[in-house]
Amino acid sequence: MATNLPATKTNLIKLKDELAFAVQGHDLLDQKRSILVVELLTLVDQAVDYQSRVEKALGLASISLENTILHEGRLKTGNLAASINITSDYTLSERKVMGVHLPKVDTDFQEHGPYFSPEGTTVLVEETIAYYREALKLMGRLAELKVSIMRLAREVKKTIRKVNSLEKIVIPDTRSSLKDMSQKLEEADRESHILLKTVKDRLDRPEKGI
């Protein structure tokens, strides 16, 4: 790509600096892309694992609830559920990966028991509570992973666009402009040298008599 800058040594130095800056930026962005991709793939693997764990936990909780209803009866199970006093607290924080803010979700439970008298109830009730509590905790972690994946994927796409722009447009165009300007300056130097040589030759000739 031709540059509109005049062919001067100052502009030549400027173009060299711009090229060096673009190459350095490309290398840094390429490293960033690699790190983000590795982090993204790691989180995707974890998300797949946690998705499976959430589904399993919810399945176990559902089966345990059904067994509790069969054993205790629907009315009694409903009364027991109404007496349970457990509050959940989600603490949100974040971590940074190459400038990308990723969430961290910590789930805590506060139990305000006893919820009911242990007499006349079975261990199935406690098991059902434990299963649902575990499922909620896993769901918090899964939500953390999914949001992190979306943010990383978005940043990877942006970084790839920047890398491609530098690699396929900015750097080649700057190199082309640098080459054109160098050739123009070399040609100007040759012309100047020829002109000076011509002037010198004329000055060195013996003056002709009048």
Q: Which residues contact 32 (CB under 8 A, 6 or more apart)?
A: 98, 159
pLDDT computed for residue 207 by the predictor: 56
Model pLDDT for residues 84-115, shown as the tens digit of each residue: 777 778 888 999 999 999 999 988 888 766 66
Cβ proximity of 123 and 61 under 8 Å: no
Cα torsion through 198, 203, 208, 210, rounded to 10: 120
Long-range Cβ pairs for the range 197-200 (8 Å, 24+): none
Q: Is the peptide bond before 114 cis (omega within 30 degrees of 0)?
A: yes
- Stretch 1-17: mean pLDDT: 81
pLDDT computed for residue 71 by the predictor: 85
Q: Greater confidence, 183 or 87?
A: 183
Residue 158 has pLDDT above 70, yes or no: yes
Calpha distance 148→40 (Å, rounded): 8
Helices (H) and strands (E) in the chain, counts: 4, 2
Q: Greater confidence, 39 or 189?
A: 39
Average of per-residue pLDDT values in the chain: 87
Torsional class of 99: left (φ above 0), alpha (ψ -120 to 50), beta (otherwise): left
Q: Per-residue confidence at 76, pLDDT binned at 50, 70, 90?
A: confident
CATH 3.40.50.620 fits 29-150, yes or no: no
Q: Greater confidence, 119 or 124?
A: 124
pLDDT computed for residue 210 by the predictor: 42
- Stretch 14-36: mean pLDDT: 95
Residue 120 has pLDDT above 60, yes or no: no
> For residue 50, which of 172, 120, 136 has the smallest C-alpha distance?
136
**Reported pTM:** 0.76
